[in-house]
Amino acid sequence: MKVVVCIKQVPDTKGGVKFNPDGTLDRGAMLTIMNPDDKAGLEAALRLKDQYGAEVTVITMGLPKAEEVLREAMAMGADKGILVTDRVLGGADTWATSQTLAGAIRNLEYDLIITGRQAIDGDTAQVGPQISEHLGIPVISYAQNIKVEGDSVIVERQYDDRYHVVKAKMPCLITALAELNEPRYMTPGGIFDAYQAEITTWGRANLVDVDDSNLGLKGSPTQIARASDKVRKGAGEKVALDPTEAVNYIVDKLKTKHVI
Amino acid sequence: MGLEEYKGVYVFAQQVDNEISGIAFELIGKGKDLAKDLNTDVTAVLIGSDVKGLADELAAYGADKVIVVDDPELKDYRTEPYTHALASVIQEYKPEIMLVGATAIGRDLGPRVSARIHTGLTADCTQLEIGDFPINPIPGKEQLHNQLLMTRPAFGGNTIATIACPNHRPQMATVRPGVMQKAPKTEGAKAEVIEFNPGFTPDNKYVEILEVVKAVSDTVDIMDAKILVSGGRGVGSAENFKMLQDLADVLGGTVSCSRAVVDSGWMPKDLQVGQTGKTVRPNVYFAIGISGAIQHVAGMEESDIIIAINKDDTAPIFDVADYGIVGDLNKIVPALTESLKAELAAK
């Protein structure tokens, strides 16, 4: 069985973001990590490798620096790493990104494609379902549990107030939730091997069945009209009071505001 | 055909178990504002099995037309038949705007539909308006009018971006639940109902639902609560949430929590406020032992009154709180509950 996992290198937004003087994001000044949902997707794939001997290929689209997450994935146990990088792919929205990744994946044999539900920089949750549409295969989003049974996958698909147990014939694409599992650590031997390992690098010429008009900034239907640092409502009053005074203070405010 | 031939504001009227989700009414409410600016009307697209009877409810909240796609294949949500239904409606009726709720259903349906019909999709919007693109004229570039400008948070709520989709139709957005206002309900209002069935032929993309497992929960949806008593890691344990529940009970409120609390297993996920939880805008939001990570604040900063109690006077929650109390929640919360009991009994 062959599994392809799409991963993304993202800025670690937990540490806050840093801006250039012109208001754009200073990506160079921020730490990067493997996107958490993608890491859970990779862990799910590695468990299929442990159980069924699945071959796991990780693929990422990004700047040459994104090779780092491929090596991290290989140090965790992935077999192959593919970096899709090309200047003409820059500035892509989710349409152009999904076209690019689908074009790259058409070179590969696969039973299962796993992506994270969403990346913590864009938070769109669109690229996984869009790749599946371009490839003409079923998608099961928001997976909280994945099992393989013969030529099918059985997935617990999370909704707001329920989950569905869903069965799909492979090939199929699944988007993984970070809650799916606890990703393993890299092993020292794995790290050593991963830094020796060869990473395959693909550019525009390697993409199959994709028109130029669907790539990069020019191929993106959505365009940014304006971007800005979020303006937040200012702080109100802050008081340090002993418990009795604090209670009186809150009750007084609730009265003034006609809550009670 | 030209982009100008696409007309009308369409909203996906999500239903689950043949009950219309609140987001559908919120989308109609926002859709009416947009339709007014564009001098057009609002059409709700209702997809399901045996759902035609729900059209009147959509009319009551302001839908001018309802397109019903009714088929047994559409009983429970599945990506492929719902995608086929909505994409077929778009191809047949050609709306200029298509809004979908950013729910666990809409965030799967939206991308799949936008990929099928080749248009852009802006995710998790918190603001929609009609305007010009580019917003300010740029020499040598045509400024387009009557464009949908879609505003959304990105980078974990640290930035906001406004997006346009100038050269493709429809302009599609998913909209975060709890952000847009429903229009007032008009009992007895009628909409023009159009039945449409594109035909459903199961293929490899139709998955099989083996089981539907509903969460056992008798709690109020935190998105509907007027008063939320929300706890964070500082509350200390699942048992200590009893203290918050007592306070909520006195005020007729509901308990909610931060992500740290869900991750610790103290409270269920459906009570989580924030970027990866729910967006809430109650009249009063108590943030108790919540530090106020940006991902949490993104889900509650629109609350009318925010009261924060935290022992750390540098906690970022104080930057958004109307009233911040630096102090020990273990002493303040129970005393507050007793005091409010006395106040309310005296009334």
> In 3D, which of A224, A248, A55 has the Cα closest to residue B339?
A248
Task: Count other Cβ atoms within 10 Å, centred on residue A217.
Answer: 14
Whole-angstrom CA distances from B347 to A256, B221, B255, B336 are 15, 29, 25, 17
Chain B: give the shortest CA distance to residue A85, in Å. Answer: 22
Which element (helix H / strand E) includes A166?
Answer: strand A162-169
pLDDT digits (tens, 9 = 90+) for A84-111: 999 999 999 999 999 999 999 999 999 9
B325 to A240: CB separation less than 8 angstroms, yes or no? yes
| Minimum-distance CB partner of A133 among B112, B149, B305 | B112
* pLDDT reading at A123 higher than 90: no
Q: What is the pLDDT of residue A235?
A: 77
CB contacts, 8 Å: B327 with chain A:
240-243, 246
A95 to B118: CB separation less than 8 angstroms, yes or no? yes
Model pTM?
A: 0.85
| Minimum-distance CB partner of B343 among A129, A161, A251 | A251
Q: What is the pLDDT of residue B328?
A: 95
Q: What is the mean pLDDT of residues A124-148?
A: 96
B79 to A138: CB separation less than 8 angstroms, yes or no? yes
B130's tokens: 């009609």
| Minimum-distance CB partner of B326 among A123, A169, A238 | A238
DSSP B7: -
Which pLDDT band, with edges at 50, 70 and 90, does A248 fall under?
Answer: very high
Q: What is the mean pLDDT of residues A33-59?
A: 96
| Minimum-distance CB partner of B155 among A121, A125, A168 | A121
Query: Is A143 in contact with A174 (CB distance < 8 Å)?
Result: yes
> In 3D, which of B269, B246, B267, B203 has the Cα closest to residue B341?
B246
B33's tokens: 């504002």
E-only strand ranges, B49-177: 65-70, 97-101, 121-125, 127-133, 144-154, 159-164, 171-175
Q: What is the pLDDT of residue B294?
A: 86
What torsion, rounded to 10 degrees, do the Cα atoms A176, A224, B132, A215 define? -80
What percentage of chain B has pLDDT greater than the value 70? 98
* pLDDT reading at A234 higher than 90: no
CB contacts, 8 Å: A13 with chain B:
155-156, 158, 294
Please state, in angstroms and rounded to a whole number, the distance separating the CA atoms of residues A183 and B318.
34
Q: What is the pLDDT of residue B159?
A: 80
CB contacts, 8 Å: B214 with chain A:
161-162
Q: What is the pLDDT of residue A19?
A: 65
pLDDT digits (tens, 9 = 90+) for A150-185: 999 999 999 988 999 999 999 999 999 988 898 999
Q: Which of helix, strand or coil describes residue B252?
A: coil
B227 to A161: CB separation less than 8 angstroms, yes or no? no
DSSP strand pairing (A9-11 vs B171-175): unpaired
Residues B62-79, buried b or exposed e (16+ Cβ, 10 A)?
Answer: bbbbbbbbbbebbebbbb
Q: What is the mean pLDDT of chain A?
A: 92
E-only strand ranges, B93-169: 97-101, 121-125, 127-133, 144-154, 159-164
Burial (Cβ within 10 Å: 0-12, 13-18, ≥19) of residue B149: buried
CB contacts, 8 Å: B297 with chain A:
232
What are φ and ψ of residue B62, in 5° steps?
Answer: 115, 0
Q: What is the pLDDT of residue B168?
A: 97
CB contacts, 8 Å: B213 with chain A:
162-165
Please state, in angstroms and rounded to a whole number, the distance separating the CA atoms of residues A192 and A188.
6
- ipTM attached to this prediction: 0.89
Q: What contacts B185, CB < 8 A, 6 or more positions away?
A: B60, B61
* pLDDT reading at A130 higher than 80: yes
Task: Count other Cβ atoms within 10 Å, centred on residue B39.
Answer: 8
| AA identity, residue B254 | T
Which pLDDT band, with edges at 50, 70 and 90, does A25 fall under?
Answer: low
Q: At what angle do helices A243-256 and B329-345 cross, to 10 degrees?
A: 50
**Which residue ranges of chain B lie beneath pLDDT 50?**
none
Q: What is the pLDDT of residue A92?
A: 94
| Minimum-distance CB partner of B123 among A11, A126, A220 | A126
CB contacts, 8 Å: A133 with chain B:
83, 111-112, 115-116
